Amino acid sequence: MDQHSPQPADPASGPVVLVGGGGHASVVFETLALLGVQVRGLLDDASEPLLVRRGLSRLGPVSMLGSPDASDSFVLGIGDVAVRRKVLDAFADAGRWISPLHPTATVSPSAAIGRGVWIGPGAIVHTAATINDHAIINTGAIVEHDCKIGENCHLAPACVLGGAVKVGRDTLIGLGSRVLPGVKIGEGCTIGAGAVVVADVPDGQTVAGVPARPLR
Length, in residues, of the chain: 216
Q: Residue by residue, what is the 3-state secondary structure of 59-123?
A: EECHHHHHCCCCCCEEEECCCCHHHHHHHHHHHCCCCEEEECECCCCEECCCCEECCCCEECCCC
How far apart (Å, rounded) are the C-alpha atoms in residues 74 and 98? 6
Q: Which among 24, 102, 126, 145 is annotated as catalytic? A: 145
- Asked about 154 being catalytic, the answer comes back as no
What residue type is 203 in one-letter code? D
How far apart (Å, rounded) are the C-alpha atoms in residues 199 and 176? 17
Active site residues: 145
